[in-house]
A and B are shown apart, each in its own frame.
Chain A
Amino acid sequence: MNSSLFPNIWRFLGLILGQCLLLKQAVQSLGSAYFNIILYPMFILLLPLQLAAPYLVLLGFAVGISVDMFYQTPGVHASAGAFAGFIRGLVFTAFAPKGGFNAKDPIFAPHYVSWQTFLSVSGVFFFLYLFWYYSVEAFTFVYFTSIVLKTLSSWGITMIFVILYAALFNPKQ
């Protein structure tokens, strides 16, 4: 557990900074309200496999509220982050082979599981995250169509960055 502490702290800081300094600026400079690139839930996805659900929820909230500081939307990302922490376990259970993922694998990364599994799991994970995020942002299901469209467009672009991130950094711990 101790050996995985620092990589996770670096990921936490790195993803928040990357999200708020690079991706936020990038999306803003494109000036589009119809999509967003949200990579920081990667932090939640790459938390140690053995971590219990309540910690995941709390860490999801922590990373979300940190991002909220930069986006000036207190609570919106935090809510989605906590939700992502909760559903991570459910998605893993749904996609895990019989008997669960290898207990020796510290984290869920392409280094340990196949790229195919990684993409399926992260695809569902990010889709659910984005759907929750846009629902909370709209705060009403009156604009359900718009929520779904934004979720789909953001999901497509975000997944490119997810693949880039996994390929470039190839996280192992």
Chain B
Amino acid sequence: MGRLLQLLLRNGGFVTLVFVELFCFMLIVNYNTSQAVIWANTTDIFVGRLMERRQRVSDYFSLQERADSLAVMVDSLQERLASARYVQVPVRDMFYRVTYDSITGTDSLRRKYNRPLYEYVSARVIENSVTSVNNWLLLNRGKNDHIEPHTAVVTPNGIVGIVRHVSDNFSIVMSVLHSQTRITASVAGTGAFGSLEWEGGSPEEMVLRNIPKHFKERITPGARVVTSGYSLMFPRDIPVGIVEGYANADDENPHFLVVRVKLSQSMSDITDVSVVRNPFSPEIDSLKSKIKQ
């Protein structure tokens, strides 16, 4: 403190000068027209740059929010896409209203009776494995987010798995890389469908089994494999992967074909997923229970 005081005293002239000049500066920019104009322009430029930098910084910090809002947007678009692909149900003796179909860009009479509407809930993968025989994922969504067991988990690139267990805030997903996975998938454009399974080994490859034999010629390498829509969980036409190689007779079941499928969603690199809810599944389940009895 003493040294600081000494420094002030020794440089008293300079310190006084700084204060006096600051005061003069204030006088000049407040009471002189031309200098005030120059000062205003200078501060405008400076403040502009400052605001720009501030904007950049705040943009950076809001990236998370923006990513989340984009995830929500992707969800809603997927929702509409999945719903649009769903079988549309014409209804007799109804009062029809023309609504604008934002997907096909046409006025549609039928869209009003589309059902069911899939609901997509975005979630983040907080645990994932691809190396074991049975792989699981952990999502940061649970009952509180209306997630139920036996719902599909997808990304815009492909399928991820099926929710098996749900706690209040988290859920465990059976990865498609699981020995018990059976998902009905079809080869796009052929009508050939089979059961998608994982035989272990490469986390990028699955097999499509139980394809009826007469599809042998029509399944070519590179063909797209998509979900069939025959399951309650996965909406139609969710991408699964592409066909690798030609379809061959299944060793285990020679009456059917088997073909290898390269997954379009790399299972080892997943951060954001969507859980697909089908609001009609309880109704369909209760209906199906009648034939099991």
Contacts and interface: CB of A to CB of B under 8 A. Distances in A.
Interface of A: 52-54, 56-58, 61, 64, 73-76, 78-79, 82-83, 85-86, 89, 136-137, 139-140
Contact of A86 (B14, B28, B38): B14
Given A58-B20, A73-B32, 18 more contacts: A52-B13, A53-B14, A54-B12, A56-B13, A57-B16, A74-B27, A74-B28, A75-B25, A75-B27, A79-B28, A82-B16, A82-B20, A82-B21, A82-B24, A85-B13, A89-B13, A136-B35, A140-B38
Contacts of B24: 61, 64, 75-76, 78-79, 82, 136
B286 interface: no
Contact residues on B (Cβ < 8 Å of other chain), bracket: 20 to 34
B26 interface: yes
B interface SS class? helix
Interface of B: 12-17, 20-21, 23-28, 30-32, 34-35, 38-39, 42
A136 B27 CA distance: 12
Nearest to A78: B24
Nearest to B41: A140
Contacts of B31: 74-75
B13 A86 contact: yes
Nearest to B37: A139
Nearest to A75: B27
A17 to B, nearest CB: 22
B21 A53 contact: no
A56 B21 CA distance: 13
